[in-house]
Amino acid sequence: EHLIRNYTMTGASAQTSTIHVLKDIDFEVEKGEFVAIMGKSGCGKSTFLKLLGMIERPTAGAIYFDGMDTEELWKDELADIRRRRIGFVFQDFYLLDSLTSGITPPAMILDKADSQVMKEIAELAGRFGIDHLLLKAPYELSGGEKQRAAICRALINDPELILADEPTGNLDSRSGQIVMDALKEINEDMHKTIIMVTHDPYLPA
């Protein structure tokens, strides 16, 4: 079953000239796959991921999510898919320093009970080895710990799809390996579909 299909997409225009960021793309991902998209910095990888995550819309072509043409969906329908069915992992973490560990925001959006949220956070944090850090603020964590917290945040609503934008880009090789191991576990053991973009041809396997 196709989770995402994507055709011929072009970027937005700058002033009077048009910049074709992405063009003539035919791309499919099956449920349960782990797909890595590689390319040099500035080639449009992050734009591509934003289009797949329905954060931005293509100026041409079509993107299908689980058989649905996303161009036919209302903004609130797209927001609901992003909130419930897609988890995002970013290079710069984007944890909220005002919240311990920074994991809770997606769960708060879904109005889960506090006890349920804390139980799920504890289970995920334990799974990825950061349960002893839950009372620390994000600024007290190392880069690798922040990224594992960000992965937990992406998983808290049990999404089907994880979109990871350069998840090891700001990490040393050891931390990068830990994060890659976590992503592989998410794919193999939790059966999540993962689409990851990277510029690093030596990314830990």
> What's the pLDDT tens digit per position in 162-182?
999 999 888 888 888 998 999
pLDDT at 12 over 90: no
Q: Which residue has the higher pLDDT, 87 or 16?
A: 87
> Per DSSP, what are the bridge partners of residue 15?
none
Q: Grade residue 161 by pLDDT with cuts at 50, 70 and 90.
A: very high
Q: What whole-number distance in Å separates Cα of residue 42 and Cα of residue 7?
A: 20
DSSP tally for the chain: helices H, then strands E: 6, 10
Q: What amino acid occupies position 168?
A: T
State the DSSP code for 31: T
Contacts of 172 (CB under 8 A, 6+ apart): 143, 144
Angle at 32 between CA 83 and CA 173, to 5 degrees: 85
Choose from 1-5, 20-24, 57-61 the range with maximum mean pLDDT.
Answer: 57-61
Q: Which residue has the higher pLDDT, 168 or 16?
A: 168
Q: What whole-number distance in Å separates Cα of residue 192 and Cα of residue 115?
A: 25
Phi first, then psi, for residue 63 (nearest 5°) are: -125, 125
Q: Catalogue the E-assigned strands of 66-169.
A: 68-69, 86-90, 161-165
Q: What whole-number distance in Å separates Cα of residue 135 and Cα of residue 157?
A: 21
Angle at 128 between CA 127 and CA 134, to 5 degrees: 95
pLDDT at 200 over 60: yes
Q: Grade residue 33 by pLDDT with cuts at 50, 70 and 90.
A: very high
State mean pLDDT over 17-21: 70
Q: What amino acid occupies position 17?
A: S
Q: What's the chain's length in residues?
A: 205
Q: Whole-model pTM?
A: 0.82
Among the residue ranges 56-60, 164-168, 186-190, 197-201, the one predicted with the least confidence is: 197-201
pLDDT at 11: 47
Q: What whole-number distance in Å separates Cα of residue 5 and Cα of residue 174?
A: 34
Among the residue ranges 19-23, 67-71, 188-192, the one predicted with the least confidence is: 19-23
Q: Catalogue the E-assigned strands of the chain.
A: 2-7, 13-14, 17-18, 26-30, 34-38, 63-65, 68-69, 86-90, 161-165, 193-198
Q: Grade residue 34 by pLDDT with cuts at 50, 70 and 90.
A: very high
pLDDT at 41: 80
Q: Which residue has the higher pLDDT, 157 or 33?
A: 33
Q: Which residue has the higher pLDDT, 60 or 108?
A: 60
pLDDT at 111: 53
* Cα distances (Å, whole numbers) of residue 187 to 97, 99, 194, 196: 28, 28, 7, 12
pLDDT tens per residue, range 108-141: 444 555 677 778 888 888 898 888 888 888 888 8
Average pLDDT of every residue of the chain: 81
